[in-house]
Amino acid sequence: MSMFKIFDVAGSGMAAQSLRLNTVASNLANADSVSSTPEGAYHAKEPLFAAVQRSFGSAKSADADSAVGVQVKGVTESQADVQARYEPGNPMSDADGYVYGSNVNPIDELVNMISASRSYQNNVEAMNTTKQLMIKTLDLGK
């Protein structure tokens, strides 16, 4: 495995955490939105990641080395129930006077934001440390 694969792994982790931060931002932006139907209410988005690894003995081509890191499998919608509130004066209310809010939990989203931010920072630190070690290794040859 090439030493430069560390940058691929950290870069894929940074891309995954960036997507996670974007979904958190979208969820927080729509946390207070309402709809006139439960189906039309905003459902929280949740990214799905997978670790990509390969065993050292199974490489059949040079491209097999590139399959390491984090892979984004997709973005799913939360299956949690939406909130129904009785607001007959709201223009979005249905015939019974209910509006349906999103199923976004702002506390969970803030925790996700902090976790994604820290993970992103850790990947940046891994890249910077690797770069410094490579430079020190090259300086040994002087």
Q: What is the pLDDT of residues 17-67, one digit of tens each?
A: 999 999 999 999 999 999 999 999 999 999 999 998 875 555 555 555 556
| pTM passes above 0.85 | no
Phi, psi of 67 (to 5 degrees): -90, 60
* Other residues' Cβ atoms within 10 Å of the Cβ of residue 20: 23
Q: In whole angstroms, how large is the CA radius of gyration of the chain? A: 22
Q: Looking at the predicted structure, is the pLDDT value of residue 68 above 90?
A: no
**3 state DSSP class of 82:** coil
Q: CA–CA distance from 121 to each of 1, 41, 125 (Å)? A: 24, 34, 6
